[in-house]
Amino acid sequence: MPRHLATRSAAEPTEPARPTPPSSATAQADSRADCGLYVHVPFCASKCPYCAFASEVRSDLMEAWAGAVLREAAAQAGRWGGFDTLYLGGGTPSLLPPRLLERLLSGLRRVFRFATDCETTLEANPGDVDRERIGAWRASGINRLSLGIQSFSDPELEFLGRRHDAQRARRALDLAREAGFRNLGLDLVYGWRGQDEDTLCGTLAEVVRFGPEHVSCYQLTIEEGTPFFIRNKSRPLLASEEEQANRFLLLSEVLGAGGFEHYEVSNFARGAHFRSRHNQKYWARVPTLGLGPAAHSFDGSRRAWNVRSLEGYLRSLGEGGTGREGEEALDERQARTERILLGLRTCDGVRLDVLSASAREKALSKFVPQLLLRVRAGRLCPTPRGMLLADRLALELCE
C-alpha cells in the first residue's frame, strides 16, 4: 500500500479541497433531483478470461479505495443536485465486506441527497451469495440485485471461467427471494463459436421459470489484453455474424414469449416498472456522476472520466487531486449524434425531429419498409431486427 494511504480510513476521509461553484456546464446536473450515481468497485477474486473491465485482485486495497471514493464524493457534492439511482458495479461489488459496504453507503448518504425511493443496485457474483451477506445487503438499503449468472450450464460456465456452477446460481436466486428482493436481475452471455442452441434454450427456459424482473443478455466480445484475445488469435472463439444474429433473435423471441419486454439491445424487463432506472439514464443522456477508478460522468454537456488504474486513482486522491483523467465538452453535433446512437438502442427510439430532413427521408423510405424501424407517436423506434443493427442504422442517420 502506498505510504500516503496507510493511515487513511474509509470512514474518515481527509478534508477535500473546497469545490468550485458549478459552472454553466454543470448547471443541469446541479439543478436536477433525478441524476444517477455510479460507484465502480474494482475488485475481483479472479479475472474472467473475456473481461476487460477495470478490476484487480487486490482485496488489501479495499479500505483505501472506499476512503478515496468518499473523498471524491465530498469534492463533487456541491456540483450535483439529488440522485434517484445508485449503482454499485465492478469488478465484483459483492466481494466487499458487509461492514465496509455499510460504511461506504452511509458516507455517500451523508454527502449526497437521495430520493426516498432510490433504486439502489448491487452487482453480485452467485458464489458470494449467502444468508449473512444477502441479509446485510438488504439491511444497508440495497433494493435491487444484479446477479452474474451467465448460464445455467456447467460446461458453459467453465468455458467462461466463472467461479460458480449452475447449482450455486440457483441457490443464489433462491436466497435472494428468501431475503425479500423483489427487483432481481440476471446477466447472461452468449455468442461464442460452438455454443449449443439447445443449451441456450435450456438456460432461457430456466430463466423464464424462475421469473426475475430483469434480464441482461450480453454478446461475447473479444477484448484486447484478455486471455480470450490471445486464444482467439490461434482459434477463433466468436460465432459467425449470422449465428450471433440468430442467437440475438432467439433471445428476443423466447424472453418476449416469457413475458419480458425487450426494451434495449441487451436488456429485457417484466414491464416498464422493472426497467433499470439507472441504465436508462445513460441512454436518455440524463446527468450521471461516476465515482471510483475508470468511472465516467456526464453533467448534461460534458463527459469526464477517471484514472483507470486503482493505484493511479488512489494516488490522485491521496495527493489532493480529483481522480479525473480527462473531460470533453460536447458540441451540438456531437450531442445530436449521441441522441441518435443511444436512442436507437432502445424500444423508445428517437424523436423524428432530432434527425435531419435527409435522415428522416432515408429512415421513412428505406428502413421502415425493411421493417427495421417503425414510427410511433412521433418517434422512430427499432424493431427487434432493427435493434440487431442499431449501430449501423444510427451511423447512417447521423448526417
Over residues 236-288, the pLDDT tens digits come to: 999 999 999 999 999 999 999 999 999 999 999 999 999 999 999 999 999 99
Picking from 43-52, 194-203, 220-229, 336-345, which range would have the lowest pLDDT averaged per residue? 43-52
Per-residue model confidence as pLDDT tens digits over 362-395: 999 999 999 999 999 999 999 999 999 999 999 9
Mean pLDDT to the nearest integer, 50-55: 75
d(Cα 142, Cα 184) in Å, to the nearest integer?
A: 11
Give the distance, in angstroms, between the CA of residue 12 and the centroid of all CA atoms in the same chain.
29
Query: 186 pLDDT exceeds 90?
Result: yes
Percent of the chain with pLDDT over 70: 93
268 and 386 in a single domain? The answer is no
d(Cα 382, Cα 379) in Å, to the nearest integer?
A: 10
Among 329, 357, 381, residue at a domain's last position: 329
Model confidence at 15, in pLDDT bands (50, 70, 90)?
very low
Q: Comparing 52 with 217, which gets the higher pLDDT?
A: 217
Of 350, 348, 377, 347, give the one whose Cα is nearest residue 363. Answer: 350
Locate 369 and state its grid cell.
Answer: 419498409
Picking from 4-13, 150-159, 189-198, 324-333, which range would have the lowest pLDDT averaged per residue? 4-13
85 and 234 in a single domain? The answer is yes
The count of other CB atoms within 10 Å of the CB of residue 261 is: 16
Compute the CA torsion angle 394, 395, 396, 399 (nearest 10 deg). 100
Sign for the pseudo-dihedral over CA of 279, 276, 117, 292: negative
The reply to whether 10 falls in a domain is yes
The reply to whether 336 falls in a domain is no
The reply to whether 358 falls in a domain is yes
- Give the pLDDT confidence score for residue 24 in this predicted structure: 42
Cβ atoms of 399 and 358 within 8 Å: the answer is: yes
56 and 118 in a single domain? The answer is yes
Place of cell 465530498: 74
Give the CA distances from residue 337 to residues 104, 349, 394, 399, in Å, rounded to whole numbers and listed in that order. Answer: 36, 13, 8, 9
Cβ atoms of 326 and 312 within 8 Å: the answer is: no
325 and 370 in a single domain? The answer is no
How many domains are contained in the chain? Answer: 2
99 and 245 in a single domain? The answer is yes
- Give the pLDDT confidence score for residue 147 in this predicted structure: 98
Among 278, 296, 329, residue at a domain's last position: 329
- Give the pLDDT confidence score for residue 21 in this predicted structure: 39
Model confidence at 45, in pLDDT bands (50, 70, 90)?
confident
283 and 350 in a single domain? The answer is no
286 and 367 in a single domain? The answer is no
- Residue 30: CATH number of its domain: 3.80.30.20
The pLDDT mean for the chain works out to 90
d(Cα 258, Cα 66) in Å, to the nearest integer?
A: 40
Place of cell 460522468: 297
44 and 168 in a single domain? The answer is yes
Of 198, 262, 248, give the one whose Cα is nearest residue 219. Answer: 248
Model confidence at 28, in pLDDT bands (50, 70, 90)?
low
The reply to whether 334 falls in a domain is no
Picking from 22-31, 124-133, 208-217, 269-278, which range would have the lowest pLDDT averaged per residue? 22-31
Among 298, 329, 360, residue at a domain's last position: 329
Owning domain of residue 360: 346-397
238 and 351 in a single domain? The answer is no
Query: 175 pLDDT exceeds 70?
Result: yes
350 and 320 in a single domain? The answer is no
303 and 358 in a single domain? The answer is no
Query: 345 pLDDT exceeds 70?
Result: yes
- Give the pLDDT confidence score for residue 56 in this predicted structure: 73
393 and 313 in a single domain? The answer is no
d(Cα 85, Cα 367) in Å, to the nearest integer?
A: 35
Phi, psi (degrees; rounded to nearest 5) at 324: -80, 140
Cβ atoms of 393 and 344 within 8 Å: the answer is: yes
Residues in the chain: 399
Query: 144 pLDDT exceeds 80?
Result: yes
Query: 328 pLDDT exceeds 50?
Result: yes
The reply to whether 80 falls in a domain is yes
Q: Comparing 33 with 277, which gets the higher pLDDT?
A: 277
Mean pLDDT to the nearest integer, 203-223: 96
d(Cα 206, Cα 125) in Å, to the nearest integer?
A: 18
Per-residue model confidence as pLDDT tens digits over 102-138: 999 999 999 999 999 999 999 999 999 999 999 999 9
